[in-house]
Structure 1
Amino acid sequence: MLRLPSDMDQFLVFPETLLASCLERGQFIHLSAQVVSYIADIDQLTKLHQHEQLLCPDYLKQAKPSRLNEFFAGRIVAQAILKQHFSCMTALTSRSNKLPIWPQGLSGCISHTQNKLLVMVSAQYLSVGADLQEQIQPEMAKQISSLILTSAEQQLWHHFKTELDFSEYLSLIFSLKESLYKAVFPVVNSYIDFLELCLVDIDLTRRIAQFEFCSKIQKNYPVLKRYSAQWQRYDEYVISFALV
Structure 2
Amino acid sequence: MQENDIACLAFPKTSHLLFAQKALPQNQEDQFAFLLKHQGSISCFKSLSETCPITRKIEFLTGRILLKDAIKTILNDEIVDTEVGIGSSGMPLWPGGIIGSVTHTKRHVCVMVGLSQEYLAMGIDLEPLISSEKSQELGPLVLGASEIDLYRQDLSAMPFNQFFTRCYSFKEAIYKLLFPQIKTFIDFKEIVITNINPVQDAILAIYRPLIANQFSGHFLEGKSFNYKQGIFSYILLSKTR
Instruction: Answer yes or no: is the 8 Å Cα contact 1:231–1:238 preserved in 2.
Output: yes
Counterparts of residues 133-148 of structure 1 (less than 5 Å): 133-148=127-142
- Aligned length in residues: 219
Counterparts of residues 112-127 of structure 1 (less than 5 Å): 112-123=104-115, 124-127=118-121
CA distance 1:28–1:71, shift in 2 (3 Å): same
The secondary structure found in structure 2 opposite 1:227 is: strand
Instruction: Answer yes or no: is the 8 Å Cα contact 1:39–1:116 preserved in 2.
Output: yes
CA shift for structure 1 position 141: 0.6
Structure 1 counterpart of 2:201, one-letter code: R
User: What CA RMSD, in Å, does the superposition of the two structures yield over aligned residues?
Assistant: 2.1
Aligned equivalent of 1:240: 233
TM-score (norm 2): 0.83
Counterparts of residues 205-220 of structure 1 (less than 5 Å): 205-217=199-211, 219=212
Is 1:84–2:69 an aligned residue pair? no
Aligned equivalent of 2:19: 37
Matches of 1:215 and 1:103 in 2, distance apart? Answer: 30
Instruction: Answer yes or no: is the 8 Å Cα contact 1:93–1:101 preserved in 2.
Output: yes
Matches of 2:47 and 2:191 in 1, distance apart? Answer: 34
Matches of 1:162 and 1:97 in 2, distance apart? Answer: 39
The secondary structure found in structure 1 opposite 2:210 is: helix
Instruction: Answer yes or no: is the 8 Å Cα contact 1:57–1:94 preserved in 2.
Output: no
Matches of 1:131 and 1:92 in 2, distance apart? Answer: 19
Q: Which moved more, 1:184-193 or 1:157-166?
A: 157-166
Structure 1 counterpart of 2:25, one-letter code: D
Matches of 2:48 and 2:54 in 1, distance apart? Answer: 14
Instruction: Answer yes or no: is the 8 Å Cα contact 1:60–1:68 preserved in 2.
Output: no
CA distance 1:42–1:75, shift in 2 (3 Å): same
Structure 1 counterpart of 2:176, one-letter code: K
CA shift for structure 1 position 161: 4.1
Q: Which moved more, 1:145-154 or 1:55-64?
A: 55-64
Structure 2 counterpart of 1:38, one-letter code: A
Moved over 6 A (4+): none
Is 1:62–2:39 an aligned residue pair? no
Is 1:231–2:202 an aligned residue pair? no
The secondary structure found in structure 1 opposite 2:12 is: coil
Deviations 1:114-171 (A, max 9, x none): 1111110111211110000111001111111011111111121112444311100000
Q: Which moved more, 1:221-230 or 1:167-176?
A: 221-230
Deviations 1:155-201 (A, max 9, x none): 21112444311100000000011111111122111220111110122
Match of 1:195 among 176, 189, 196: 189
Segments of structure 1 that go 5 or more residues without pairing to the other structure are 1-22
**Percent identical across equivalent pairs?**
22
Instruction: Answer yes or no: is the 8 Å Cα contact 1:187–1:223 preserved in 2.
Output: no
CA shift for structure 1 position 235: 3.9
Structure 2 counterpart of 1:36, one-letter code: L
Is 1:186–2:166 an aligned residue pair? no
The secondary structure found in structure 1 opposite 2:119 is: coil
Instruction: Answer yes or no: is the 8 Å Cα contact 1:106–1:126 preserved in 2.
Output: no
Segments of structure 2 that go 5 or more residues without pairing to the other structure are none
CA distance 1:161–1:222, shift in 2 (3 Å): closer
Aligned equivalent of 1:4: none
The secondary structure found in structure 2 opposite 1:50 is: helix
